[in-house]
A and B are shown apart, each in its own frame.
Chain A
Amino acid sequence: MRRRMRGIAVSAIALTSVLSMAACAKDTGGSSNAGSGNTAGDGCTLAAAPPAAPATSSSDDASAKVDGSALKVGLAYDIGGRGDASFNDSAAAGLDKAVAELGVKKENVKELTAAPNEAEDAKQTRLRQLAGEGFSPIIGVGFAYAESFKVIAPEFPDTKFGIVDATVEGAPNVTPLVFAEEQGSFLAGVIAAYQSKSCHVGFIGGVETPLIGKFQAGFDQGAKKAAPEIQIEDKYLTPAGDFSGFQDPAKGQEAAKGQIDSGADVLYHAAGASGKGVFSAAKEADVKAIGVDSDQYNQETVSNEKDVIVSSMLKRVDVAVFDYIEAVAANNLSSLPAVFDLKVDGVGYSTSGGKIDDKLKTVLEGYKAQIISGEITVSATP
């Protein structure tokens, strides 16, 4: 009896994690805004396009060359790390640019990565390791590091810390690098509305967290603004607390299929590595998709599906990381924007692949100008 139980136990351990993931995969917060919609395939009745944006003189003041050769830069990635083809990779690109352009020495760079489901003290140990070895600045990629910075930053008051996607209160040596994801996603919603033939679009979020909620909120508002009668499907792959939704292309594909079956023909994802599944489903059904974070049309991991990608919502973590390192090197942290938004090109959209024609581009620039001027305010909550 005992022995049999042990046998069961071992095989069950192997199965458990798989099964438990499967068990929680189903039906998380799917909702569809049902309506009549037109399936005639002529596209939406579009709202009047905004006035064209005034030609802007690009204020690219060729900043004086900053020397970063004395810096020791530490990066603590979130789950996935360098090579996730998404968020972390974008941060890595910023670091690489700093190495190339600011003269940061390769041997003075250290990158560490978080494990899935790790305890808080593991994050603290990681940051303490970096700070203890004299790295400064140290950049935490992801809001998961916020609590750890609260503990570590006071321990190393002379070290400069930066954190992506979070603000740490009461720690003056921690610089927040936060984005207006809802503004970029608004433009993604506009693109979706203009590209949809069935006047029916979908959003797929990885994990139902407030951060991903900003993507959904912006997308929904943008689509509705451009085409008031549009139908929108919203779906999250996993509930808050289960971060597998960012790493599960199969789940992404399943969710995308569901939305396509119910009529959506342009899908926007904010689901990290699961987005690959969204692209596959879109390719299979011959519909369109919008990528996220980086310019996904040019990404190798999804190169098979790239012809369905009409655009990507850009969240320039690379810009923020680079700007931050540059500001530390120049000892001028006040030069950083409080929020990386449309105004400072911290978010935006990509045009790789040539699916955005000049007409649509004019419309997008019009909306962009309205958001920057404050004529349109985009809410960050769905």
Chain B
Amino acid sequence: MGTLRGKLLPPALAIVFSALLCGIALVISGANPLTAFGAMLTQVGEGTTLVDVVNSTGIYYIAALAVAIGFQMNLFNIGVEGQYRVAAVTAAVFGGSVTLPPGLHALAILVVAAVAGALWAAVPAILKVTRGVNEVISTIMMNGIALGLAAYLIRADVFGELRGNNIRTPEIPSTGWVPGISFGSSGTVFGLVLLAALLGVGYWIMMNRTRFGFELRASGESSTAAAAGGISAKKMVLIAMLLSGAIAGLVAMPEILGRDHTYNLNFPGGIGFSGIAIALLGRNHPGGIALGALLWAFLDKSGLALDNVGVPREIVTIMQGAIVLSVVVAYEVVRRVELAAEQRRVGRQTGTAEPVGGAA
């Protein structure tokens, strides 16, 4: 029971705290916070917003899972951003240039995306295990290279084609599309949102029910102890990074196979960075990440309503930042409080009520 409280209380506190913070910011800027939050809530029922939230949740969820796998191994994969972009271009080019039967075509595109993402992540992984290069630095640099590579690949004289003032990869034929679940005028849920859910289940099984998951967590907790237990930390780093990259490669697939059918200049960026925040918020737990992704998607999509009530939409960005910062603080506070409570309880039971000091 205490552990459940320890898990749920911090994010709840963080959300309330950041809502308060934004409320104060709104009051200072002369707007009514209640109108603003009310507009955000009612926006969910408008147009396609609810469906957009669901779609966006799925996309954020995949990105956050990719980050979380790295976190489990104590790897900080900032490169999700670049991995999903490179994977998206590669998969879009591949999908637009081959002819395959329906179903198989989409499957092949997904495999190509995952492989491309994994390969892009392999560079920092290999650098880390062979030369000890910090993955934070190398993945950030790979992000920069990814942007350049993607821009090169969609040039009209390479793989892209010019459409007015936009450039895009050749359109993927309908055999490669993944049909969605249509709600008429309320929008269409991407079929691949289900893939996100499957990935979540797979992630949970892998971490909690397989030897690999155990070894991963063990190496993450203490690489020396794991090594003493016969686990090669290098192998774990390599596998974790490749897995993380493969999942990252799938991030853009719901949009590309479900709606756009091409990679173009309007490709959304920043999902990888949001994934880091969401993985932190969800503490690498598949359920927690799902809630985090839902919250992020809700803030993103319903924030569009703020323009209608004359409130700057950027308040949502402030809120997201505040949530991440305060969730870290809140976890620490709750952990210390629980530690102290535990000590008091043990002290009462053993009769030696001598606190050892709450600090860690």
Task: Please tell me if the beta carbons of A9 and B276 are within 8 angstroms of each other in the complex.
Answer: yes
Q: Report the minimum CB–CB distance from A203 to chain B (whole Å).
A: 18
Q: Report the minimum CB–CB distance from B222 to chain A (whole Å).
A: 7
* Across-interface contacts of B156 in A (CB, < 8 A): 210
Contact pattern, B 283-312, Cβ under 8 Å of A = 1, otherwise 0: 000000000000000001100110110000
B128 within 8 Å of A (CB atoms): no
Within 8 A of B (CB), among A184-223: 208-211
* Across-interface contacts of A10 in B (CB, < 8 A): 280, 324-325, 328
Of all chain B residues, the one with the shortest Cβ separation from A129 is B308
B3 within 8 Å of A (CB atoms): no
In the complex, A5 Cα to B222 Cα: how many Å?
Answer: 12
Of all chain A residues, the one with the shortest Cβ separation from B307 is A112
Of the stretches A239-247, A261-269, A353-361, the one at the interface is A239-247
In the complex, A16 Cα to B143 Cα: how many Å?
Answer: 10
* Across-interface contacts of B136 in A (CB, < 8 A): 8, 12
How many B residues have CB within 8 A of the partner chain?
A: 64
Of all chain B residues, the one with the shortest Cβ separation from A125 is B304
Q: Report the minimum CB–CB distance from A89 to chain B (whole Å).
A: 18
A239-B151 in contact given A16-B140, A121-B301, A128-B48 (Cβ < 8 Å): yes
Q: Report the minimum CB–CB distance from B266 to chain A (whole Å).
A: 5
Which label, helix, strand, loop or mixed, suits the secondary structure of the B interface?
helix
B81 within 8 Å of A (CB atoms): yes
B265 within 8 Å of A (CB atoms): yes
In the complex, A117 Cα to B300 Cα: how many Å?
Answer: 12
* Across-interface contacts of B360 in A (CB, < 8 A): 3
Q: Report the minimum CB–CB distance from A85 to chain B (whole Å).
A: 19
Task: Please tell me if the beta carbons of A23 and B141 are within 8 angstroms of each other in the complex.
Answer: yes
Contact pattern, B 238-269, Cβ under 8 Å of A = 1, otherwise 0: 00000000000000000100011000111111
Task: Please tell me if the beta carbons of B259 and A120 are within 8 angstroms of each other in the complex.
Answer: yes
Task: Please tell me if the beta carbons of B167 and A23 are within 8 angstroms of each other in the complex.
Answer: no
* Across-interface contacts of B265 in A (CB, < 8 A): 144, 209, 240-241
Q: Which residue of the partner chain, among B143, B255, B259, contacts A20 with CB atoms under 8 Å?
A: B143
Task: Please tell me if the beta carbons of A19 and B140 are within 8 angstroms of each other in the complex.
Answer: yes
In the complex, A13 Cα to B140 Cα: how many Å?
Answer: 11
B313 within 8 Å of A (CB atoms): yes
Within 8 A of B (CB), among A1-42: 1-3, 5-6, 8-10, 12-13, 16-17, 19-20, 22-26, 28
B71 within 8 Å of A (CB atoms): yes
Of all chain A residues, the one with the shortest Cβ separation from B308 is A129
In the complex, A320 Cα to B162 Cα: how many Å?
Answer: 24
Task: Please tell me if the beta carbons of A239 and B165 are within 8 angstroms of each other in the complex.
Answer: no
A241-B147 in contact given A128-B47, A132-B47 (Cβ < 8 Å): yes
In the complex, A60 Cα to B272 Cα: how many Å?
Answer: 54
In the complex, A136 Cα to B183 Cα: how many Å?
Answer: 26
Within 8 A of A (CB), among B114-164: 136, 140-141, 143-145, 147-148, 150-152, 154-156, 162, 164
Of the stretches B13-21, B49-57, B202-210, the one at the interface is B49-57
Task: Please tell me if the beta carbons of A115 and B313 are within 8 angstroms of each other in the complex.
Answer: yes
Of all chain B residues, the one with the shortest Cβ separation from A211 is B165
A118 within 8 Å of B (CB atoms): yes
B193 within 8 Å of A (CB atoms): no
B29 within 8 Å of A (CB atoms): no
In the complex, A242 Cα to B151 Cα: how many Å?
Answer: 9
Q: Which residue of the partner chain, among A2, A117, A144, A209, contacts B269 with CB atoms under 8 Å?
A: A117
In the complex, A113 Cα to B314 Cα: how many Å?
Answer: 11
For the complex with contacts A1-B222, A124-B48, 19 further pairs of A-B residues with Cβ separation under 8 Å are A5-B71, A17-B273, A20-B81, A23-B140, A23-B141, A23-B143, A25-B144, A120-B259, A121-B301, A122-B52, A125-B49, A128-B47, A143-B164, A209-B165, A211-B165, A239-B147, A240-B154, A241-B147, A241-B267
A-B contact pairs, 21 of them (CB 8 A): A1-B221, A5-B71, A5-B76, A12-B78, A13-B280, A16-B140, A23-B144, A24-B147, A26-B144, A28-B151, A117-B268, A122-B52, A124-B48, A129-B46, A132-B46, A146-B164, A147-B264, A210-B167, A211-B165, A239-B151, A241-B147
Q: What 5 A-B pairs have minimum CB-CB distances, sorted nearest first? A: A23-B144, A239-B151, A24-B144, A143-B165, A240-B151
Q: Hey, which bits of chain A sit against chain B, CB under 8 A?
A: 1-3, 5-6, 8-10, 12-13, 16-17, 19-20, 22-26, 28, 112-113, 115, 117-122, 124-126, 128-129, 132, 143-144, 146-147, 155, 165-167, 208-211, 238-242
